[in-house]
Structure 1
């Protein structure tokens, strides 16, 4: 039993040393990664952003309420777009899981949603005259600026 115990102790020591070597290798690999995360090409980033905006425009013109949803979702989309790699299936899975851990927890989502709602409440008439929101949503996606939609909808209508 003493001999077996000594053998198990020796095996445990070897495993601890192996763990230490693997941790060192992991740290070395992590230090070689770019500081901003997974390298994403600017062209892909801009293309995805444009596709998102086109989709928001199409959906908003069908139902103005989608625009409100898009305001809440845009920061989440931007973080996903900037962090998730599609270089390979493995990269996609790994970077998506990392993104979810960092950006989809309640502590991360709460301030993001609050900021989006603050933007909505300061760039539209949702708090003062919610009946203007459908028009503002349509103007925002056709003109590309929610603040412009607010400015336009607060001005008096032209007399005919």
Structure 2
């Protein structure tokens, strides 16, 4: 019949029309996946670039990374070598810092000793100015020489025990080492006080 034929044609036409909603959904889903993949790739590339810049900075900052290593020739330093050299350099800096702190502490002690000596000398000068004609306790030149001799004898004992004469170079090195160790202001002050105390007991 005419009605059945019309229905048949309508259903055939409807089935031949593409489903645009499904295609749009597939397109949007595919585009979302692509965007995520692209974003992940970019983030990963940024991370790798940041790591590379970090290693490049370490090679610039750490002096030992700039020195030529003949064991690897002209090859580029590996990340493991860069990290190891960085660790070694940090440990070296820690040791240098500790050494400098010890030197500063020693210098501060020397400054304190010098200040004490300065105060003592100022008191001696002041006493002399206040009593310029006082001479009843004046000592002889022999006593003055005995003080000097006592100081030198004490210094020579440490000098003789510390100095090596195996060679001139070793002698020179030992002399400087002896001066730094046994001629500090506080050490000399203790020696002088000991000599004066001993001489005073002999005189009085």
TM-score, normalised to structure 2, is 0.34
The structure that has the greater radius of gyration is: 2
TM-score, normalised to structure 1, is 0.43
Larger relative contact order (C-alpha < 8 A, sep ≥ 6)?
A: 1
